[in-house]
Structure 1
């Protein structure tokens, strides 16, 4: 089989015929698979199939939750799509019944690759190999399209499906949750051994490694995948894929007559730019009987320098091998690619060996990943100054070499920013350092100035040269600048960023509102009809960007010419105002061809991720009136008809503010009303040659209420002096009531943790200023041997009233009650609780072992728990009064579960950078911990300290200590998450602490949360949606009761300086989590932050909430 063209650019007819001759598994089940048809019958059949996907093992929470799919809904979703890549399988016993689907699209970031969006089979028909046949057809489709690979996402706990995927060539890409890529289309189409797969079935000869683990394969430190085929006694094929670039880097081809190995290698896939050289080899070995002659030409991409001969003519007799040796290096100005962060991205930097032999020409490709040894940026990166000012500009020096470095830095003045000193010799700590430079900002209008920075080693090697912006705001004016491959436009209120160079997702916009921390992402160029949201041709296209300045603000126009709609130029224009007005988004289409173009449309679609906030509610102006709802109550079956709306706006309320969308509903074709951020479709009339069509603008706004969003829409589209804005205000109570104890006189509590030998507490009535207290105070503790206290109050000109009362614990661990102040005009009432420990008893700590695993056991006389340094520094066992373990755990084993690569269970914490790209938890799981005993009178327990982290740039120098403390004979476990920043710069983290609890696996389990409107809400464990609307909840506590357990387990947090909340997570009957999340924790250099969560065991649900305002802090004397 000969080929004169270079792979993979083989698209002529003969090659397509060759593809069809490749042997695929063909049995009675594959005959049941076909592309879907755009008919009412198929739409209804797919809806029925979707509704059958209720298997919680395959679909956590069920597919679509409680939503019921209809044929009409499916038609609306699929009618405009390319149906040739949407495959269905019919039942073996009923050809009219659709029982499975496999829907494919191009990958969003690589135009020559395909992605399985959805794969599922009706549970009643599982086990009949229908999913296997669907997936095989999808792989065959990718092969026919000349794809490099086909990929999909699943989850680590999908035990049934993982062998199916790996058996068909899918590899679990390391450090992802869980992204799988299959390079069989590339291998089967490879010119040199394509002929083998026309003789042998690849499926029958493929020898996969089937595990539930990531396919973390290496050749030394070169990241690879290995594929092996055993054809017969004499024939086999081994292929290596360089997974940094997704191309074949070598193969070993053996037949009865031929035995040829060609393989390129480098010791490490990564290399530092500017200062590091690395070896590259190509080994050619002939172990066969005939002489092998090869012509080899070597080339590299622009920023990879190669030293060595680049052309070779090789003649290899039998049993001879030859190695081509080259030395490579990155130019110092090469942009970095950190694949630990960008886990789904592939390097653009390759060394290609183009090889011709036996009439075949094919590439063997090696990838290299550029890293910066050192970086420098201002702190914060988007540094803002004011004119006519003397200041100190802080620079963060980032060191990625793992050891202390001595460097030289040179700063050059900008036009408006002048430095007092320009040259620095400094030492940079392995965990980064800070350099503070005095500077002066000259008088100026608002602008973005640039300063030039260069960094060298002591021996003169260039580490980097770059420009850094200093944004100067005098008045609120939009400015533009570049930083780290990104283009920024911002005013005092908002910042917009996009990538200038071509890379995955490079044509998307990120709009960030600085005051409230709200964010809108997306709005890429998506041209239709039909719309390909998952594989738009522009997703990885380098766009042409132009900035236009007007009196009102800045416009950035980003454009590209379509290949699919030949000759149509698409331009997206974003407007950033000079004031705090809405941002505008407008598209235009221009026909550059000499023919009219039809079937044109634009899809405007935004998404919320990554956004640290969850929406409180959504407000929509329906024809029936303005409605508000939580996102999950809203549902998805709201249609896309803009005539359902009375006005053209939508608002999303967050705890920090409101995000609004403004549009003219009379000119849009469709709108995704039920989506969090509405997707809006425009249909464009036939576009004549040389004609341009401008779409009506959309607007984004950030404000404080949905009423403000509505008024801005009225002012944009229906201006009238009569437009008014309604304000709704709420006020805090002027008087407060509660409890205090001897150690917390300045803190009004609802819950007190007391030594049971203490016989008195104090109740308090407090006002924010001197006033009159007139009425009666009643204190009542249920199930305690103490009578209700009724205390008349009549005092004037006082800020506070305090009264001491006696209590009698009577052997109880925890007791609830109420405190009421009844005045002539209103009644103040609070729930209260007392929790007791016994200072006359001891908490014991013992060292134990289990199957050669050592752990520490803490016993307070009422409950006991166990933890281990080998278990990610967590506790894995909790027993109350001799009960079974309350915690869901896999100690001492660690198993894949849910969306995580490893599931530990138990109770423990994780920290991660704010920008959680990549999979930081997977790296956290690999840390080593040390264990210790701890005593903070009266608390006692165990703690686990991690090693200092360095696996992500944004987390370098961080260290976590988790303390698990308790009190003697008490129902409390206090978990403290201590985070220390050992670096010399400020770091910002998110922190999570989770208790994973055992369920009964039936629908009688319950968990509880408090809503802000209706009190305590009760949920079943499969009520998955409750997590997403947590900001409608009280967010300070949650609880769970397993059927058969004597005690309810509650999680409580108190007042915090951070954005902190308690949440629940229960995707199905098998797991419930009581967790605490904290976002945007800024920790200065060398400082420590401590976060507390109180877990308690109680039989009375009403005892939990009062401990959100407790004396816990006063008990922690340090």
Structure 2
């Protein structure tokens, strides 16, 4: 069925009968995408194994001139994803990409998903204005260009419905199309702001980067804002969240503010107000301990339900949970043997806003005999420091122990926490395996391999000063695995010793079959 005709361009869903024309489109686009020659059979085979929910094609006179996939985003929660978007080069500038993006957004809205994500390569800056004009925000990341679109949340929001219904969300959106990452900074938070204006109404909706949710709205009738004192909050402690409501309508507003607990945030409150001018509610919540949030994914959130005159929405802010101190164990570069002297170097960071005296108690263990089982360091608020702890090597292997940390403040308050430190003690001919909360390790003599749990990137090296490691990214085995292995967690790990080698095998559960990926 043909839909959304703009001039001679029409959008259709993929069918095998279009495979030959799709192959021609890719072959005509190979200067931009690279790769080998595509055939009709190749396209049909790929699409039969595709995990796309939809594959949209832009057609002109029975020729495929544009392509847009739509699938579930497997690297985060609550989002759909455009894994592939292409326009045939001779149709650049004819708004085919815009038509495909808007059609994909319409499908996301219809499916009631709150967000649409996509990636583009760093050099593809010419496409960024198009993405931003269609409602995407460029999230600042070191390794890739990730864009997020919250228009589906806005269009499906019952509180915003009376106002977004008065605007054309595309034509009336006010947006500066700069070739740089987006975001307004405030108290450690990054906010993405949508603004609309026409002769009938004005509307602003702000979304917070790490919570991936609505954090502030302003309409002709009211302003509502959710706020925290800081993005970084200590876990295991109580905190406060504020909800500010300002009445601009000249009529009383009936407002209800209620808690929305989750696995990391515990809270219980419910307030009902008749607001004539403005009101701020301050509510306590407890931030439970848990795993560290992963960059590029949704962080733990504080969520608050707000209803205005019976129309309700949920406001969210992401939080970056911290313990009072962070300890990072530096790799030991030397080749060791029993009886050698070495040092365990620790980088400490004070996550408190006030100065603290940090006292560390180091345990007896089978790998290292510490010359002084206790040490201390004074750190300013938010400050960093290093301690180098001398030790005698008792045996080689993967050293990993819990240490007791006493955090003493100037007001005589003391916090006692437990931290884990780990390091590989390697030597000639020694082979062993190690694991901590961030990585898997295997060691063979002076060499080791580290697999990062966050993205399954592998780093090979020796830790020798001045020697650069070799890096391999997670395997990309073709659809549907290309979006899975960079973020999936292994369901099983195995280590094996064979003559002079050591093998680490990580098993991942795919949507289709079980495969072993690292060996």
Structure 1 and Structure 2 fold alike (TM over 0.5): yes
Residue in structure 2 matching 1:394, options 344, 347, 369? 344
CA contact 1:478–1:578 (8 Å) conserved in 2: no
Residue 500 of structure 2 is matched in structure 1 by 580
Residue 186 of structure 1 is matched in structure 2 by 153
Residue 380 of structure 1 is matched in structure 2 by 331
**C-alpha distance in 2 between matches for 1:375 and 1:579:** 39
Residue in structure 1 matching 2:80, options 96, 100, 114? 114
Task: Evaluate the alpha carbon distance shift between residue 385 and residue 292 of structure 1 in structure 2; reply closer, same or farther with a 3 A threshold.
Answer: farther
Task: Evaluate the alpha carbon distance shift between residue 314 and residue 585 of structure 1 in structure 2; reply closer, same or farther with a 3 A threshold.
Answer: same
Residue 138 of structure 2 is matched in structure 1 by 172
CA contact 1:49–1:98 (8 Å) conserved in 2: yes
CA contact 1:575–1:585 (8 Å) conserved in 2: yes
Residue 36 (structure 1) shift: 1.6
Task: Write the deviation string for residues 207-230 of structure 1: whole angstroms up to 9, x where unpaired.
Answer: 323233321313454310111223
| TM-score, with length taken from structure 1 | 0.40
Residue 409 of structure 1 is matched in structure 2 by 359
CA contact 1:382–1:470 (8 Å) conserved in 2: no
1:313 aligns with 2:271: yes
SS in 1 for 2:327: strand
Task: Evaluate the alpha carbon distance shift between residue 371 and residue 227 of structure 1 in structure 2; reply closer, same or farther with a 3 A threshold.
Answer: same
**C-alpha distance in 2 between matches for 1:84 and 1:449:** 45
Within a 5 Å distance, the mapping from 1:9-24 to structure 2 comes to none
CA contact 2:172–2:197 (8 Å) conserved in 1: yes
**C-alpha distance in 1 between matches for 2:164 and 2:8:** 19
Unaligned ranges ≥5, structure 2? none
Residue in structure 2 matching 1:323, options 280, 292, 299? 280
Task: Evaluate the alpha carbon distance shift between residue 587 and residue 394 of structure 1 in structure 2; reply closer, same or farther with a 3 A threshold.
Answer: closer
CA contact 2:164–2:203 (8 Å) conserved in 1: no
Task: Write the deviation string for residues 643-676 of structure 1: whole angstroms up to 9, x where unpaired.
Answer: xxxxxxxxxxxxxxxxxxxxxxxxxxxxxxxxxx
1:469 aligns with 2:438: no
Residue 406 (structure 1) shift: 5.5
Residue 764 of structure 1 is matched in structure 2 by none
Task: Evaluate the alpha carbon distance shift between residue 186 and residue 382 of structure 1 in structure 2; reply closer, same or farther with a 3 A threshold.
Answer: farther
**C-alpha distance in 2 between matches for 1:64 and 1:156:** 14
1:32 aligns with 2:10: yes
**C-alpha distance in 1 between matches for 2:508 and 2:376:** 52
Residue 954 of structure 1 is matched in structure 2 by none
Task: Evaluate the alpha carbon distance shift between residue 399 and residue 168 of structure 1 in structure 2; reply closer, same or farther with a 3 A threshold.
Answer: same
Residue in structure 2 matching 1:347, options 299, 303, 316? 299
**C-alpha distance in 2 between matches for 1:437 and 1:368:** 34
Task: Evaluate the alpha carbon distance shift between residue 80 and residue 425 of structure 1 in structure 2; reply closer, same or farther with a 3 A threshold.
Answer: closer
Residue 46 (structure 1) shift: 1.6
CA contact 1:489–1:576 (8 Å) conserved in 2: no
Residue in structure 1 matching 2:197, options 201, 221, 230? 230
Task: Write the deviation string for residues 1017-1060 of structure 1: whole angstroms up to 9, x where unpaired.
Answer: xxxxxxxxxxxxxxxxxxxxxxxxxxxxxxxxxxxxxxxxxxxx
Q: Which has the larger radius of gyration?
A: 1
Within a 5 Å distance, the mapping from 1:761-840 to structure 2 comes to none
Task: Evaluate the alpha carbon distance shift between residue 510 and residue 588 of structure 1 in structure 2; reply closer, same or farther with a 3 A threshold.
Answer: closer
Residue 241 of structure 2 is matched in structure 1 by 280
Residue 480 (structure 1) shift: 3.5
Residue 465 (structure 1) shift: 2.7
Task: Write the deviation string for residues 233-286 of structure 1: whole angstroms up to 9, x where unpaired.
Answer: 2x33211101122111121233xxxx13221023543346689x8763211222
**C-alpha distance in 2 between matches for 1:326 and 1:149:** 28
SS in 2 for 1:207: coil
CA contact 1:408–1:458 (8 Å) conserved in 2: no
1:294 aligns with 2:255: yes
**C-alpha distance in 1 between matches for 2:284 and 2:198:** 37
CA contact 2:234–2:323 (8 Å) conserved in 1: yes
Residue 242 of structure 1 is matched in structure 2 by 208
CA contact 1:205–1:230 (8 Å) conserved in 2: yes
Residue 129 (structure 1) shift: 2.0
1:265 aligns with 2:227: yes
SS in 1 for 2:113: coil
SS in 2 for 1:32: strand
Task: Evaluate the alpha carbon distance shift between residue 313 and residue 223 of structure 1 in structure 2; reply closer, same or farther with a 3 A threshold.
Answer: same
1:125 aligns with 2:91: yes
1:368 aligns with 2:319: yes
| Root mean square deviation of aligned Cα | 4.1
Residue 54 of structure 2 is matched in structure 1 by 85
Residue in structure 1 matching 2:377, options 426, 439, 444? 426
Residue 44 of structure 1 is matched in structure 2 by 20
Within a 5 Å distance, the mapping from 1:880-891 to structure 2 comes to none
Residue 295 (structure 1) shift: 2.9
Residue in structure 2 matching 1:204, options 163, 171, 174? 171
Task: Evaluate the alpha carbon distance shift between residue 588 and residue 441 of structure 1 in structure 2; reply closer, same or farther with a 3 A threshold.
Answer: closer
SS in 1 for 2:299: coil
Task: Evaluate the alpha carbon distance shift between residue 470 and residue 200 of structure 1 in structure 2; reply closer, same or farther with a 3 A threshold.
Answer: closer
Task: Evaluate the alpha carbon distance shift between residue 399 and residue 451 of structure 1 in structure 2; reply closer, same or farther with a 3 A threshold.
Answer: closer
Residue 384 (structure 1) shift: 7.9
CA contact 1:36–1:83 (8 Å) conserved in 2: no
Residue 69 (structure 1) shift: 3.4
CA contact 1:105–1:534 (8 Å) conserved in 2: no
SS in 2 for 1:426: strand
Residue in structure 2 matching 1:137, options 103, 107, 113? 103
Task: Write the deviation string for residues 492-527 of structure 1: whole angstroms up to 9, x where unpaired.
Answer: 45445453xxxx64xx47474659955554369x9x
SS in 1 for 2:130: helix
Residue 401 of structure 2 is matched in structure 1 by 450
Task: Write the deviation string for residues 515-546 of structure 1: whole angstroms up to 9, x where unpaired.
Answer: 9955554369x9xxx9523544x8767x6xxx
Residue 293 (structure 1) shift: 2.4
SS in 1 for 2:140: coil
Residue 513 of structure 2 is matched in structure 1 by 601
**C-alpha distance in 1 between matches for 2:317 and 2:502:** 48
CA contact 2:331–2:423 (8 Å) conserved in 1: no
Residue 182 (structure 1) shift: 0.9
Task: Evaluate the alpha carbon distance shift between residue 396 and residue 117 of structure 1 in structure 2; reply closer, same or farther with a 3 A threshold.
Answer: same
Q: How many residues align?
A: 506
Residue 428 (structure 1) shift: 5.1
